[in-house]
Amino acid sequence: MVKRLFLMFVVCPLFAFGFDDAPTGTQKIPPRQELVVVTGAFEPLPLDEADRAVTAFETRNQPLLFPSFIDYLLLEPSVDLRQRASDGIQCDVSIRGATFGQTLVLINGLRANDPQSGHHNLDQPLPMGALERIEVLRGTGSTLYGADAIGGAVNFITAAPAVSEFRTTIAFGNFGINQQSGAAAYSRRRFSEQLTFEREFSTGFMPDRDYRNLQTASNTHLKSGIGHTTLLLAYGDKPFGADQFYGNWNSWERTTGWFAGLSQDLGSKTQVSFGFRRHTDQFVLLRDHPEVYANHHASESWEYALRRHDKLATNATLSYGAEGYRDSIDSNNLGHHARNRGAVYANFDVRALRRFSFSVGAREEAYGSLRTNFNPSASAGYWLSSRLKLRASASRAFRLPTYTELYYSDPATRGNPNLHPESAWSYEVGLDWNSAGVLGGDVTVFHRRERYGIDYMQRSSADPLQYATNVQNLNFTGIETTLRLRLPHSQQVDFAYAGLHGNRDSSFGNLRSRYLFNYLSNNGSIGWQGSLPGKIMARTRLGVTERRGLDPYALWDAALTRTFGRVSPFVQFTNLTDTRYEEITVPAPVPMPGRTVVGGMNFVLRGSASK
């Protein structure tokens, strides 16, 4: 089956080349645009100049072909998305075999991880219409961002709207899917405002797997004499049936989230920022009998940052700053707790464009009773030719235990208030290649050595309970490779693969861990995007996933859209092969939906560009 799908996937796009409505003469490749990234470096820089492994997805190009951030993250093979339902409902994210708690989620560079549990790290109140770009840092990033960035970081980035417009979308699908979304933007040279919302409802593909999803955001940009001001306010509400999510129970859960992010430039060299996130989690073990067992958690996180950079020479920059954090939780199960952290950092960067670059930095972070964590990093790049770049980096990262790992208790699980913070050293070497924007790719080899990794384990074969435990000497080695091909008639083909191998300390014995060794051992995909006859824009992706110790499975997705003036009908297909699979397998397998088809209409009324 996988072989037949692969042949169909490759042949169909190539066959379409001869039937495009474009002229049959020589077709020029559109000029390659320089993409500036902000993740993985202390100051924005062109993606080609990054000395770390960074992937960037521009989300405003084809919103009807990529309806969810999940569709973008699936294009990066080192990102492991473990979903319990479609549309990102209770979705865990990890990078390079790290656990979901070891991946940092950012919103406009501000920390958005959940202190209660890493299960909620992707539960962010951001409509897709509010996003401009998603950037993925592969590899440790604590020098830049502090705790949690052991496997990497995912940065959701908003931006000022380019034009004033009104946009609305309505769609319907099987499993009772009903979707509406909209955006209203006002854009001028010094001020812009964008309001976005999303609403989705589904009766579920099986009993007690229904869900509702409401998200709304306000994004304000102001340019004044003191500098650029950005204010993001967002709210989300997700009630959903959680049958089988945490075991053989017809459970129910509801999460709500609030986010506020403010950044203010003070001239061209200094920026102050503030972030606030509140998240609530209401869980009922038996949906029809909530009195049997229920948990309610409410967590809050605050962040303050002062950042500055100074040019020491034409090609040398010193970046430095200070940050403060506070998180707290109020829970009927976990209790009432709070903790504070503070950090200072500095980074020295030297680069001669298209020749060489070098960066060295360090962060000192204090937490608890004057305990500290020191996280240095170094990276370098060297252009072997105008199209070939060699890069390398080494860095250290750490993660503080979540409140669930410290204090949670139920009939099968026990937290541990004496857990040590996790730490890891990561090393990587990569080669980037680009041929005039037509053919490009990269390959990266990495190795990560962890100490005090946190997982749930049995203490003995006679004790069925699983306890939060620190595990020593975890090692992961992997390879990542991508190949990008841009062809005439707006065609683009992407090949991507990531392989990973992990080993553990012999002290594990025969005891089974819950999360540490449930990683993707092999993950590959081939994707195509381009135009079809009749001015139809389309994309499709075939991915094959193999998780350690489990059988591989294939998933095929596709989407098509056609614009008629202000109106654009579309259709989106998920799991076209109707594959039966699970992405969450512990503590019990959680079935995922079969073939899903959603079709709808998008309407746009656009004004003039900013003046």
Model confidence at 462, in pLDDT bands (50, 70, 90)?
confident
Nearest to 163 by CA among 43, 20, 60, 59: 60
- Over residues 501-522, the pLDDT tens digits come to 998 765 555 556 678 788 999 9
Amino acid occupying residue 437: G
**How many beta carbons lie within 10 A of that of residue 578, not counting itself?**
10
Domain ranges (residues) in the chain: 2-19+36-609
Instruction: Using CB atoms within 10 Å of the CB of residue 83, give its burial: 0 to 12 exposed, 13 to 18 middle, 19+ buried.
Output: buried
| Phi and psi, residue 69, nearest 5° | -65, -25
Supply the DSSP string of 323-361, one letter for each residue: EEEEEEEEETTTEEEEEEEEEEEEEEEEEETTTEEEEEE
Model confidence at 247, in pLDDT bands (50, 70, 90)?
confident
Cβ atoms 557, 544 nearer than 8 A: no
Residue 16 to residues 3, 489, 562, 576, Cα–Cα distance (Å): 21, 10, 16, 20
Model confidence at 75, in pLDDT bands (50, 70, 90)?
very high
Q: What angle do CA 515, 517, 523 make, to 5 degrees?
A: 110
Model confidence at 72, in pLDDT bands (50, 70, 90)?
very high
Are β-strands 45-46 and 413-414 bridged in parallel, bridged antiparallel, or unpaired?
Answer: unpaired
Please say if the pLDDT value at position 611 is more than 50: yes
- Over residues 210-219, the pLDDT tens digits come to 999 999 999 9
Portion of the chain with pLDDT greater than 90, in percent: 74
Determine which helix (DSSP H) or strand (DSSP E) holds 354, and give its type and residue range. none
pLDDT given at position 461: 73
Structure tokens at 487: 């062809």
Report the distance separating Cα 164 and Cα 606, nearest Å.
Answer: 6
- Over residues 293-326, the pLDDT tens digits come to 999 999 999 999 999 999 998 899 999 999 999 9
Cβ atoms 56, 37 nearer than 8 A: yes
- Over residues 364-374, the pLDDT tens digits come to 999 987 799 99
- Over residues 1-55, the pLDDT tens digits come to 434 433 333 333 333 333 333 333 333 334 445 678 889 888 888 888 889 999 9
pLDDT given at position 20: 38
pTM of the model: 0.92
| Phi and psi, residue 203, nearest 5° | -80, -10
pLDDT given at position 510: 54
Q: What is the mean pLDDT of residues 412-437?
A: 92
Portion of the chain with pLDDT greater than 70, in percent: 92
Average pLDDT, the chain: 89
pLDDT given at position 473: 85
User: Which positions ≥6 away from 310 have C-beta within 8 Å?
Assistant: 269, 317, 318
- Over residues 78-110, the pLDDT tens digits come to 999 998 887 778 899 999 999 999 999 999 999
Q: What is the mean pLDDT of residues 571-599?
A: 91
**How many beta carbons lie within 10 A of that of residue 10, not counting itself?**
14
pLDDT given at position 451: 93
Residue 407 to residues 103, 255, 401, Cα–Cα distance (Å): 21, 20, 10
Determine which helix (DSSP H) or strand (DSSP E) holds 166, and give its type and residue range. strand 163-173
Report the distance separating Cα 258 and Cα 239, nearest Å.
Answer: 15
pLDDT given at position 421: 95
pLDDT given at position 33: 54
Lowest mean pLDDT among 327-341, 439-453, 510-524, 525-539: 510-524
Is pLDDT larger for residue 187 or for residue 29? Answer: 187
- Over residues 385-410, the pLDDT tens digits come to 989 999 999 999 999 999 999 999 88
pLDDT given at position 26: 35
Cβ atoms 308, 270 nearer than 8 A: yes
CA 282 to centroid of chain Cα atoms: 24
Instruction: Using CB atoms within 10 Å of the CB of residue 321, give its burial: 0 to 12 exposed, 13 to 18 middle, 19+ buried.
Output: buried
Query: How many residues make up the chain in this entry?
Result: 611
Fold of 2-19+36-609: Maltoporin; Chain A (2.40.170)
pLDDT given at position 549: 85
Please say if the pLDDT value at position 74 is more than 70: yes
Q: Give yes or no for a cis peptide into 587 (omega within 30° of 0).
A: yes
CA 432 to centroid of chain Cα atoms: 22
Lowest mean pLDDT among 12-21, 218-227, 476-485: 12-21
Structure tokens at 467: 């306890």
| 316-324 contact pairs (CB < 8 A, 24+) | 316/348, 316/349, 316/350, 317/42, 317/43, 317/348, 317/349, 318/346, 318/347, 318/348, 318/349, 319/42, 319/43, 319/346, 319/347, 319/349, 319/361, 320/344, 320/345, 320/346, 320/347, 321/345, 323/146
pLDDT given at position 235: 98
pLDDT given at position 507: 56
**How many beta carbons lie within 10 A of that of residue 510, not counting itself?**
6
pLDDT given at position 10: 38
Coil, strand or helix at 581: coil
